[in-house]
Amino acid sequence: MATVTVEQILETIEKAKLVQDINTLDHSKPLTEQGIDSLDFSGVLFNIEEAFGIEIPDDDIDGLQTINDILVYVNNKV
Amino acid sequence: MIAITTIGKYLPENRVSNLDLLEKFETDELFIRDKIGVVQRAQKAPEEKASDLCIKAFENLLSKKSLDKSTVDCCIVVTQNPDFNIPHTSAIVHGALDLPESCACFDISLGCSGYVYGLSIVTAFMEANAFKTGLLFTADPYSDIIDPEDKNTALIFGDGATVTLLEENQPGLVALGYDFGSKGAGYKNLVNEGKLYMNGRAVFNFSAGVVPKSIEKLLQKLNLEKTEIDQWYLHQGSKYIVDTITQRLSLEPEKVVFNMYDYGNSISSSIPMLLSEDLSNFKQGQKFGVSGFGVGLSWASAIFEMK
Are both B177 and B164 inside the same structural domain?
no
- Same domain for B153 and B18: yes
User: Among positive and negative, which fits the CA dihedral B68, B73, B78, B84?
Assistant: positive
pLDDT of the residue at A69: 92
Within 10 Å of residue B100's Cβ, how many Cβ atoms?
Answer: 13
> Do B222 and B283 sit in the same domain of this protein?
yes
Domain termination site, one of B136, B152, B168:
B168
Classify strands B231-234 and B287-294 as parallel, antiparallel or unpaired.
parallel
Q: Which residue out of B18, B103, B189, B235 is catalytically annotated? A: B235
B60 annotated active-site: no
Q: Which amino acid is at B74?
A: C
Nearest CA to B99 out of B124, B74, B79 is that of B74
A46 and B199 within 8 Å at the Cβ level: the answer is: no
Q: Are residues B201 and B234 in the same domain?
A: yes
- How far is residue A35's CA from residue B59's CA, in Å, rounded to a whole number? 47
Distances (CA, A) of B149 to B44, B191, B265: 19, 17, 18
Buried b (16+ CB within 10 A) or exposed e, A17-55: ebbeebeebeeeeebeeeebbebbbbbbbbbbbbbbeee
Last residue of a domain, one of B168, B198, B232: B168
Please tell me whether the interface predicted TM-score (ipTM) of this complex is above 0.90: no
Domain-located, residue A48: yes
pLDDT at A1 over 70: no
Residues B127 and B248 placed together within one structural domain of the fold:
no
Cβ <8 Å between A39 and B35: yes
- β-partners of residue B107 are B77
Q: Is the pLDDT of residue A38 over 90?
A: no
B17 with B109, same domain? yes
CB-based contact B174:B282 (threshold 8 Å): no
Please report the sign of the dihedral spanned by the C-alpha atoms of residue B76, residue B80, residue B82, residue B86: positive
The answer to whether the beta carbons of residues B159 and B42 sit under 8 Å apart is yes
B192 alpha-carbon distance from chain centroid: 19
Q: Which residue has the higher pLDDT, B16 or A19?
A: B16
CATH number at residue B211: 3.40.47.10
Q: Does any CB of chain B come closer than 8 Å to the CB of residue A72?
A: no
Structural domain includes residue A21 = yes
pLDDT tens across the length of chain B (307 residues) = 999 999 999 999 999 999 999 999 989 999 999 999 999 999 999 999 999 999 999 999 999 999 999 999 999 999 999 999 999 999 999 999 999 999 999 999 999 999 999 999 999 999 999 999 999 999 999 999 999 999 899 999 999 999 999 999 999 999 999 999 999 999 999 999 889 999 989 999 999 999 999 999 999 999 999 999 999 999 999 999 999 999 999 999 999 999 999 999 999 999 999 999 999 999 999 999 999 999 999 999 999 999 9
Respond yes or no: is residue B112 known to be catalytic: yes
Residue A18 pLDDT exceeds 60: yes
Residue A33 has pLDDT above 90, yes or no: no
**Dihedral angle at the C-alpha atoms of B120, B198, A68, A73, nearest 10 degrees?**
-80
- Mutant choice from B32, B205, B241 vs A, greatest count of A C-beta within 10 A: B205
pLDDT > 70 fraction of chain A, expressed in percent and rounded: 97
Q: Give the separation between CA B20 and CA B219, rounded to whole angstroms.
A: 42
CA distance B189 to chain A (A): 12
**Same structural domain for residues B157 and B177?**
no
Note whether B226 and B143 are same-domain residues.
no
Task: Check whether residue B178 and residue B245 sit in a common domain.
Answer: yes
Q: Domain span at residue B178?
A: 173-306
Residues B288 and B237 in one domain: yes
Among B31, B244, B246, most A C-beta atoms within 10 A, so best to mutate, is: B244
Q: Is residue A40 part of a domain?
A: yes
CB B40 within 8 Å of CB B13: no
Q: Distance, in angstroms, between A58 CA and closest chain B CA?
A: 8
Cβ proximity of B166 and B136 under 8 Å:
yes
* pLDDT for the residue numbered A23: 84
Q: Which amino acid is at B284?
A: Q
Q: Do the chains contact at A43 and B204, CB–CB below 8 Å?
A: yes
Same domain, B184 and B149: no
Q: How far apart are CA B21 and CA B185, in angstroms?
A: 34
Q: Which domain holds residue A30?
A: 6-77
Of B137, B168, B199, the last residue of a domain is B168
CB contact under 8 A, B208 and A49: no
A1 in any annotated domain: no
One DSSP character per residue, B164-214 reads EEEEETSSSEEEEEEEEEE-GGGGGGEEESSSEEE-HHHHHHHHHHHHHHH
Give the global pTM. 0.93
The C-alpha torsion from B114 through B9 and B90 to B109, rounded to 10°, is 20
Least confident range of A31-35, A50-54, A56-60, B290-294: A31-35
Number of domains in chain A: 1
Number of domains in chain B: 2
List of E strands, chain B: 2-10, 15-17, 40-42, 74-78, 104-108, 133-139, 161-168, 173-182, 190-192, 196-198, 231-234, 287-294, 298-306
Q: Report the CATH number at residue A66.
A: 1.10.1200.10
Residues B149 and B8 in one domain: yes
